[in-house]
Structure 1
Amino acid sequence: MTRQFTQRSLAMVLMLCLIFVAACSGNNGGNNGGGNSGGNKDAGAEGKTEGEGGEQAEAKPVTLRIMWGGSQERHDNTLKVLELYSQKFPHVKFQPEYAAVQGYFEKLVTLSAAKNLPDIVHMDMAIMEQYVKRGQLLDVSDVDLSGLVDSKLLDAIKFDGKLYGIPTSLNGGGYIYNKADIEKYGLTPPSKNWTWDDYFKFAEDARQKLPKDRYGIQDQSRAWFHFQTYQMANGKGPVFPGDGTVHIDKDLWMKLQQIYMKYRSEDIVPPADKTVSFKEGDPQMDPIASGAVLVTGATVASAGVVENLMPGKIGVVNDPTAAEGGGWSQPTLFWSVAENSDNKEEALKFAKWFLEDPEAGKIMKTARGIPLNEEAWKAIEPELLPGQKLGKDMLEMGREMGQKFYPLPAGAQDFEKIYNSEMEAVMFKKQTIEKAFDKIMAAAKDAEGKMAEVK
């Protein structure tokens, strides 16, 4: 895809998995009731619990249903972590279910409607709100994460001041660029804290120096998240501020769209038919790897994918900035415990262990993003491929001026589709930007009503 922040908001680290499998194994063989505590802190590696009077008692066997989505690498590594956990806590077995991203989200919707979520469920910040509003995720605010997650990051991932999952990793957004060809054609590469003016100047300079069928940047006019990044950097706040409203600053929106309209007419960005055919991570259709453009947006996960296609040729930089900074860096992936689980205590114990155990982090590597556990990162860093290290570089680059991540909220999915389709019509010269704006704002009003209805 292009710099389609519509998909970025779904999953930053979830983006750009090339080949997935769906599988399910094991049998649900336990029913160990549990409360809303932070896990059975007295359980040891031999499956012991401390009983009355301090004596050691055998822990009751329990099988935890656990489900996640993502790449084959994430599947393989997670299964190894589950095996490790069962070795340390023999009374705990797992019934794992996993799938590629799209299939996972679809299955999650089905299980949610049936009120049959697994004990432990992979959650993404981009979809989490709807499950929180339905009361389907356990409030884990009482779990002590001090020393593991700093207070600023915790505040950024709470809903109405409450935490509904144990974060597993750091994610973030930024830009990747073809540093080899930027040097080849005598262009100035993007640098830390570059501005939106720098971004547009790069696009215009590239047109003067690149062959006709190559471009400096993409046409990102159809992505609502791209506009949100621009609007936030200019101090006008997010499109979805979290209060049930949709906020689009008309003057800023028109300014950005007029720039892209001008760029299309002057061949500064790829033509519309080429833009809509891009597919990130595909060797032939990825905007960077195919050679079509030199700079595009990315996440921690996608940066490494493209680097693997072009070893040694990719550089990273933070999002363009303005008066209020730009870009984001925070946890977006979680292990959440289902409110309907009969095994809450054991499920929550696993979720916290996954975050704090360095050995688990070493097994996962960067399959869920950059480990929050610094000890785990130090352990895996020497073994990582260059592409896997790029994500960490991107996070560090954007930390100084990064902002909070504001995903597409529950109830606003139709808005995303309409925004995309109306701006595609503009790109193909089938309607004016004025007409598109009117339709997008009508969709925004509709989204506000649907967001209010989500329970």
Structure 2
Amino acid sequence: MKRSLKKITALGMAAAMAFSLAGCGSNNGNETTTTGGSQAAPSTAASGAETQGASTEGESAGDPVTLKITWWGGQGRHDYTQKMLDAYTASHPNVTFEAMPSGWDGYFDKLATQAASGSMPDIVQMDYLYITTYAKNNSLADLQQFVDDGTIDTSKIDKNLLNTGNIDGKLNGLVLSSSYLSVGYNPEVLAEAGVEEPTGSWTWDDFVKTAETVKEKTDKYGMAGGPVDDTNLFNYWVRQHGESLFSEDKKAIGYTDDKLCADFIQMWADLMAKGAAPNPDEYAAIQTLGEEGRPVVTGEGAMLTEWNNYATKVSKTNDKLKMVTPPMAVGSDTKGLWMKPGMFFSVAETSKVKKEAAEFIDWFINSEEANDIMMAERGTPVSSEIRDYMVSSGKLSDQQAAMFKGVEDALALCGETPDPDPVGMSEVNESFKNAAYSAFYGQVSPEDAAAKFRKDADAILSRNN
């Protein structure tokens, strides 16, 4: 993992990324291109560091700059992000944006193609799942220079969280928000089943019993999410048992006993067999309903595993959902939970306006104006100063306030944030899902599925790292 790839390999690597990310789906015409920013009269009120044109050496401050920016999300995120771009242009009238929003499906397919052709946007919303791949491909600029010269203020960001964007000694991503694995639940469904709401001290036995009771008493799903969409929940399970999902060199699976994986798969297979959790076919149908049409939101299910900002994201449809930390392993005092970077902003290595991009990122993270518009939709702000401001502002909804408080409670259960996902992670996730599904369909035993996952994952990891 420590070796550096030469730039000459960039085209081939990006092509490989496009192949490995094919499971994310196609763009399906979701991308739009707009130009944000009104041409307001120049203002003498400075906001952050002076803007300097980086595309031509010797340009004076205030020269016109266009920043190309891309991100994924739903329409709500697209709308408020455009408002943020407009607000930035209002205070920086020489800066306009070429915005390229997209849905999650197809986002990284297109980004891989752009990386291969050297045409990545200046500012790229980046995910923890893929940042290592793009960093290794030399597609992302090192932002440390802009931290060192004061362009980006990181003094209010937890150092452990900040370092999640550091790949092999280069700050290839500036973390925008923090999140952690949670269980979202519908309190009305639990009440209908006569089940008490979970607390942060609940166990996996409590979780299973709750799911089964909901099914028995209401004939609704006790747990209506996808436990093997990726390896995040399994990683939590592994860490709870004092093990690591990956070896230190990221070339193989880190835990030694496949029983750890087999037990995880068996637990979910049992819930599916009892109808307490959707089987793969039922879950595929649920996925077509969209985020706000999930059973937990509509009252047809009790629980799902998600990131801690889920209740806030769907609050316009159901403002009664609550979040709780995931179940704990019986008899274990190991801190399996971790603070995950919600997402990053990265700057393309090919960008000619890196300084201006860095100035915008600093504003996005550290300004009250930006966060008043964003309202924590991308996750809990990483700046402790901004978190304090938002709590004291009185602008947060009840669910947002609960999310902020939940972060403080969860910190007591969090261990060290793991390294960024290794190269080939999308393939590892797919192999995990395929192995688990083969057991859920009854084609193989959980033990055989666990062994198959190890064999496939080891091959993927050794080939890519």
* Structure 1 position 235, deviation (Å): 0.7
Q: What residue in structure 1 maps to residue 31 of structure 2? A: 22
Q: What is the letter of the counterpart of residue 158 of structure 1?
A: N
Partner of 2:242: 235
What's 1:425 paired with? Answer: 438
Aligned partners of 1:294, 1:419: CA distance in 2, in Å? 25
Q: What is residue 260 of structure 1 aligned with on the other side?
A: 268
Match of 1:164 in 2: 172
In structure 2, the CA distance between the partners of 1:92 and 1:260, relative to structure 1 (3 Å rule), is closer
Match among 291, 302, 311 for residue 303 of structure 1? 311
SS at structure 2 position matched to 1:155: helix
Asked whether 1:129 is paired with 2:141, we answer: no
CA offsets 1:138-195 (integer angstroms, 9 cap, x no match): 1122405343212232234422343212222222221111212222322122101323
Q: 2: distance between equivalents of 1:171 and 1:383?
A: 20
Structure 2: distance between partners of 1:79 and 1:184? 42
Taking a change above 3 Å as real, the CA distance of residues 362 and 188 of structure 1, as seen in their structure-2 partners, is: same
Contact 1:174 1:317 in 2 (8 A): yes
Secondary structure at the aligned position of 2:171 is classed as coil
Q: Which runs of 4+ in 1 moved over 6 A?
A: none
What's 2:158 paired with?
Answer: 150
Contact 1:170 1:372 in 2 (8 A): yes
- Counterpart position of 1:103: 106
Q: Say if 2:452 is the partner of 1:439.
A: yes
Give the match for residue 340 of structure 1. Answer: 350
Q: Tell me how far 1:297 sits from its aligned partner.
A: 0.6
Q: Which runs of 5+ in 1 are unaligned?
A: 1-9, 28-39, 50-56
* Closer, same or farther: CA 58–217 of 1 in aligned 2, 3 Å: closer
Q: How does 1:200-215 map to 2 (within 5 A)?
A: 200-206=208-214, 210-215=217-222
**Other structure's SS at 2:287 match:** coil
Deviations 1:298-338 (A, max 9, x none): 113422244443332x2210122233123332433222111
Task: State the alpha-carbon separation in 1 of the partners of residues 338 and 432 from structure 2.
Answer: 22
Q: 1:138 aligns to what SS in structure 2?
A: coil
Match of 1:163, as an amino acid? L
Distance 1:64 1:157, change over 3 A: closer
The change in CA–CA distance for 1:284 and 1:371 in structure 2 (over 3 A counts) is closer
Could you say which residue in structure 2 is the equivalent of 1:198? Answer: 206
Q: Structure 1 residues 153 and 359, CA, compared in 2 at 3 Å: closer, same or farther?
A: same
**Aligned-pair CA distance for 1:63:** 1.7
| 1:222-277, Cα deviation, whole Å (9 max, x unpaired) | 75332221111111123475633223441211222333344444444444532343
The AA in structure 1 aligned to 2:411 is R
1:37-116 equivalences under 5 Å are: 42-43=49-50, 58-116=61-119
Deviations 1:103-124 (A, max 9, x none): 3222211101112212221111
Q: 1:244 corresponds to which residue? A: 251
Shift in CA distance, 241/365, structure 1 to aligned 2, threshold 3 Å: farther
Amino acid at match of 1:361: N
Alignment partner, residue 39 of structure 2: none
Q: Give the aligned partner of residue 185 of structure 2.
A: 177
Q: Give me the whole-angstrom Cα distance separating, in 1, the residues matched to 2:269 and 2:251.
A: 31
Aligned alpha-carbon RMSD (Å):
3.3
Cα distance between partner residues in 1 of 2:87 and 2:220 = 51
In 2, Cα distance between the equivalents of 1:298 and 1:42? Answer: 38
Distance 1:213 1:363, change over 3 A: closer
Counterpart for residue 394 of structure 2: 382
Aligned residues: 414
What are the equivalent positions in structure 2 for 1:256-295 lying under 5 Å apart? Answer: 256-279=264-287, 282=290, 286-295=294-303
User: 1:367/1:302 Cα in 2 relative to 1: closer, same or farther (>3 Å)?
Assistant: same
Shift of 1:362: 1.0
1:107 and 1:236 map into 2 onto residues whose CA distance is 35
Once residues 20 and 303 of structure 1 are traced to their aligned partners in structure 2, the CA distance between those partners, rounded to angstroms, is: 28
1:361 matched to 2:366: no
Aligned to 1:7: none
Q: Does the residue aligned with 1:288 lie in a helix, a strand or coil?
A: helix
Residue pair 1:119, 1:337 contacting (<8 A) in 2 also: yes
Task: Report the identity percentage.
Answer: 26
Separation in 2, partners of 1:228, 1:48: 44
| Paired residues of 2:214 and 2:222 also in contact (CA < 8 A) | yes
Q: Which of 101, 119, 122 is equivalent to 1:119?
A: 122
State the alpha-carbon separation in 2 of the partners of residues 281 and 386 from structure 1.
26
* 3-state SS, counterpart of residue 294 of structure 1: strand
CA deviation digits over 1:330-364, x for unaligned, max 9?
43322211111111222212212221111111112
Structure 2: stretches of 5+ with no match in the other structure: 1-20, 37-46, 55-59
Q: Are 1:119 and 1:341, in contact at CA under 8 Å, matched by a contact in 2?
A: yes
What CA distance in whole angstroms lies between the structure 1 residues aligned with 2:384 and 2:262?
43
Q: Is the 8 A contact 1:215 1:270 kept in 2?
A: no
* Letter aligned with residue 191 of structure 1: T
